[in-house]
Amino acid sequence: MIKHVSVFTLKDKMEIDHFITLLEEVGNDCSLIVNSEVGCNISKQPAIGPHFGDIIQIIEFKDEADLKAYPTSKEHQRLLKEGPEMKTVTAIDYYI
């Protein structure tokens, strides 16, 4: 199994609820995804220290083939087309 973790910082914070809904739909609809968890940051951005993003998505894939196929899937492409503009996106993949 592989976990894919993405931390999104949106340019327009008014888009957070829409993007959470979109991520949840993609997580439920994409056959490549074994499990998807979406959460919204509840902490305030500290004056100094780490950057806190707005939304996190943690996806589980059964193998590297599914991980590599995900970016070109219609569900991921939907995120790119219908999702809000990002300030930053940080991602990491690791074996579990």
**Window from 18-22, 28-32, 42-46, 79-83 with minimum mean pLDDT:** 42-46
What pLDDT shows up at residue 84? 98
Cα distances (angstroms) measured from residue 35 to each of 5, 48, 61, 86: 12, 34, 7, 24
Q: Which domain holds residue 24?
A: 2-95
- Pull the structure tokens for residue 15: 């888009």
Q: List the one residue out of 48, 37, 51, 47 whose CA is nearest residue 5.
A: 37
pLDDT at 45 over 90: no
Q: What pTM did the predictor assign?
A: 0.93
What pLDDT shows up at residue 50? 87
Cα distances (angstroms) measured from residue 86 to each of 8, 19, 27, 42: 7, 11, 19, 19
CATH classification at residue 88: 3.30.70.100
Structural domains of the chain, count: 1
